[in-house]
Structure 1
Amino acid sequence: MSFRTIQSEGPLRLVVAGAGGMGGAWARNIVGSPDAELVGIADLYPEAAAKLAAATGIGGLATGTDAIELAQRTSADAIVNATIPEAHHPVTIAALSAGLPVLGEKPVAATVAEGLALAAAAEHTGQLFMVSQNRRYHPALHQAKQRLAGLGAVGIVSVDFFQSPHFGGFRDEMASPLLLDMAIHQFDMARYLLDADPVSVSCEEYNPAWSWYAGDAAANAVFAMDGGARFTFNGSWCSPGHETSWNGSWRISAERGTVLWDGENDPSAAPDEPFEPGEDHGRDIGGSLRQFIAALLDGSEPMGRVHANVMSLAMVEAATQSAAQGRRVAIDDVLDRSYAAALANERDPEVLAVLKSWPSVREALSSKRSDSE
């Protein structure tokens, strides 16, 4: 299924929804892009929008409390949704319904059920909804995947993630801070490296005695992936000393060799065979922005299109359910329950019709995959 493109001879005009930390990061990247123009900042708190607008250095930059109204007032081409996860669904639905494509912060929504509703809404409106999984946009991650091309079938992908951030605020009080707020990055990167989706997961959460988090800040998870590979995640948010990269430390074991990546520098492979460098996807949210704009202008399929991204959030929900229930959880069970919830909660008859037209959730999502790009 294609999406509507935009005919533009100049930079695309963008409104940022959400004036928090990520909203500021997006604003800076838009200002620094030759292909984009920041035309407005929206936030429920007018003073927050005004403060960020002033920080951009753009005189007279428009602000407002309603992103859609602001986009219409400024003749914006699209919205960047940098609101909190609980607001991702309502803001994105409103934008798509108003004929505005959306580039959204991860996660796609607060729940898989809401993510499925957004995928259906994007289909119905014909507008692009792309989710920015910014850690996919790292040149060394792409090089790691390219180095795997000559090593045969991949059987094991493992990542160690050990950090010790003192955030303060809501993360310190979350029930599952590591899994809910961080692990989606590594889960999504594993899907990219394997070009595969999850089948099931067994996960255990725990909290070291010295942890400053109220909830479990450490976890081990083993995912069975389609095609037979295994992905293992071993992580902690309360492990000071010899910390890994925020991308994690990776070992990818294939039929004829292994690739190692420390999460920052160029990966190494044994045997060290020649490889094709591949396309430059850019870096971090700047790469997401570049690919979103390119997709809107030429119709190319971006990595983070909503259909291709929902499964990464499903991995998070399945892992937390496995830890809570003390058993292996099938991803299809999570998808089925989420689909039932999406059907029950949807109030737009046309979006509901799209949901009902899907032969299965997995088939509907996999038909829009672009992980191999």
Structure 2
Amino acid sequence: MTGALSESPEPLPVVLVGAGNMGRHWIRTIESTPEVRLVGIVDLDLDLAARVAQDEALDVAIGSSVSEVAARSGGAAVVNVTVPAAHRPVNEEALFAGLPVLCEKPIAPTLVDALQQAALAEVAGGLLMVSQSRRYFTELVRLRAIADRLGRVGAITTEFYKAPHFGGFRDRMEQPLLVDMAIHQFDMARYLLRADPVSVSCSSWNPAWSWYDGDASAAATFEFDDGARYSFTGSWCAPGRETSWNGAWRISAEHGTAVWDGDGVPEADGIDSLPEAPDGPEEIAGSLAEFVRSLRSGEVPQNEIHENIHSLAMVEAAVLSARTGERVDIAQLLELRYAEAVRTERRTDVRERLEQWGSVARLRLRGAAEVAS
């Protein structure tokens, strides 16, 4: 990163890109966060952007170009709430305009695109952080502290059962549960284990009563580099006795077991008392707070793009395993996607940076070095 923003007492002026339903949610979060100030809204649909600004009683710049709106409004950072297919062009324009970006998950539709964006962030010299908002539930943070006290983890399991009738694109996806939802739980497992996935075996299916075109149910088991196993089972067409949107969790460890229903306080044996839950904002407000904090301090946020790629790799590997019926080696998959990223990258400077990597084996270290530089 070219340098942290000064620790000014003034709120950070931000530009929001994407005025749809999620954009409105972000607007309200930004407006309720004293550390930031919304100064612009960008959307290709200018009428929609103007209508949202009017509905939310906002006096902000409106336009279809990130860099132009930021220049006109004094914006110093970008929150990208567009659909995944639009993330790359928005992030590219912002980063090369000198604007750090907080981007909604998933950072990209594919691993190839994500790797290219990681290299793009390096070339631009700016921070690109992914909003994996479920890491910021205070009870999840407490669960992680419990897991640390319980010693070596042998297994983590998540049960996720919901029956939402979304309508729209999710109903037509090939893998709605794995692609649109499970990245949350997969990323939470990485957070709890402080480790990276090695391999996965996954199966998926669509129950006869499902209202989805693609597979709405799945079961996956991941091996992690510390020897632990993570098992996910779930469905998006499971009416009755639904779990939390976070899922229901169990951690089996060296000195005891912890369970969490995804909403309340975790329970555990093997420890004398539960650690305190941390104070702080949750969900996207927590993601926004860490983004601002990292810009002020120059510290690497936990969801910097290089670090986040392993969560997206879990999704792509699970989908591949479900399609082929075979165990997928995640390191091998990453190297295959890296080679494809080099071959297909259209920008010469980004392609050359990718070629300099030589491998993705030290991906996280690259991200930490770039943000610190």
Q: TM bucket by the smaller chain?
A: over 0.9
Could you tell me how far 1:167 is from its partner in structure 2? 0.3
2:339 matches 1:340: yes
* Residue in 2 that maps onto 1:54: 54
Q: Is the 8 A contact 2:66 2:93 kept in 1?
A: no
SS at match of 2:117: helix
State the distance in 1 between where 2:34 and 2:221 align: 42
Identity of aligned residues (%): 49
Residues 194-231 of structure 1: per-residue CA shift (max 9 Å, x gap): 00111111000101111111111000000011111000
2:24 matches 1:24: yes
Could you tell me how far 1:279 is from its partner in structure 2? 5.0
Could you tell me how far 1:275 is from its partner in structure 2? 5.1
Q: Which stretch of structure 1 is more off in the superposition, 275-284 or 121-130?
A: 275-284
Q: How many corresponding residue pairs?
A: 368
Matched ranges for 1:52-201 at <5 A? 52-58=52-58, 60-201=59-200
State the distance in 2 between where 1:155 and 1:122 align: 36
* Residue in 1 that maps onto 2:295: 296
SS at match of 1:251: strand
Give the 3 Å change call, closer, same or farther, for CA 262–275 of structure 1 in structure 2.
closer
Unaligned runs of 5+ in 2: none
Could you tell me how far 1:92 is from its partner in structure 2? 0.6
State the distance in 1 between where 2:51 and 2:246 align: 31
Query: Given residue 47 of structure 2, which amino acid in structure 1 is its aligned partner?
Result: E
Give the 3 Å change call, closer, same or farther, for CA 138–334 of structure 1 in structure 2.
same
Give the 3 Å change call, closer, same or farther, for CA 195–318 of structure 1 in structure 2.
same
State the distance in 1 between where 2:39 and 2:19 align: 14
State the distance in 2 between where 1:263 and 1:209 align: 28
Residues 125-177 of structure 1: per-residue CA shift (max 9 Å, x gap): 22111100011110000000101122110010100000000001111111110
2:262 matches 1:263: yes
Query: What's the C-alpha RMSD, in Å, of the aligned pairs?
Result: 1.6
Give the 3 Å change call, closer, same or farther, for CA 170–212 of structure 1 in structure 2.
same
Could you tell me how far 1:369 is from its partner in structure 2? 6.6
* Residue in 2 that maps onto 1:34: 34
Q: Which stretch of structure 1 is more off in the superposition, 269-278 or 307-316?
A: 269-278
State the distance in 2 between where 1:223 and 1:217 align: 19
Q: Is the 8 A contact 1:99 1:125 kept in 2?
A: yes
Q: Is the 8 A contact 1:281 1:291 kept in 2?
A: no
Give the 3 Å change call, closer, same or farther, for CA 368–277 of structure 1 in structure 2.
farther
Matched ranges for 1:222-301 at <5 A? 222-274=221-273, 276-277=275-276, 280-301=279-300
State the distance in 2 between where 1:47 and 1:295 align: 34
Query: Given residue 309 of structure 2, which amino acid in structure 1 is its aligned partner?
Result: V
SS at match of 2:50: helix
SS at match of 1:303: coil
Q: Is the 8 A contact 2:138 2:278 kept in 1?
A: no
Could you tell me how far 1:271 is from its partner in structure 2? 2.2
Give the 3 Å change call, closer, same or farther, for CA 30–50 of structure 1 in structure 2.
same
Query: Given residue 43 of structure 1, which amino acid in structure 2 is its aligned partner?
Result: D
State the distance in 2 between where 1:241 and 1:181 align: 21
Could you tell me how far 1:366 is from its partner in structure 2? 4.8
State the distance in 1 between where 2:91 and 2:315 align: 21
Give the 3 Å change call, closer, same or farther, for CA 336–193 of structure 1 in structure 2.
same
